[in-house]
Amino acid sequence: VTPGMDVAAALKTLVRGGPEIVIDSVGKGATIAQALEAVVPGGAAVVVGLHEVKQPASINPAALVYQNKRLLG
């Protein structure tokens, strides 16, 4: 992974359509959003890292509702 890299797009290329589960061990707002973006509809993004524990993370709630994605911790 390189700075500025679109991780979600790279994962969708490596795993046709995207993985069913992404585990974010960093826990920054940006990596949480990328994990949720990368998973297929019905998939789950699991956050285990706490790098920015006191910083809010911006996510797209439409991904949770319309694509039935799950965000777990």
Residues 42, 65 contacting (CB under 8 angstroms): no
The one-letter code for the residue type at 33 is: A
Interval 5-29: pLDDT, tens? 899 999 999 999 899 999 999 999 9
**In the beta sheet, which residues pair with residue 67?**
none
Tokens of 43: 């998939």
Nearest to 23, CA basis, from 41, 11, 13, 14: 11
Model confidence at 42: pLDDT above 90: yes
Q: Taking the model in full, what pTM does it have?
A: 0.87
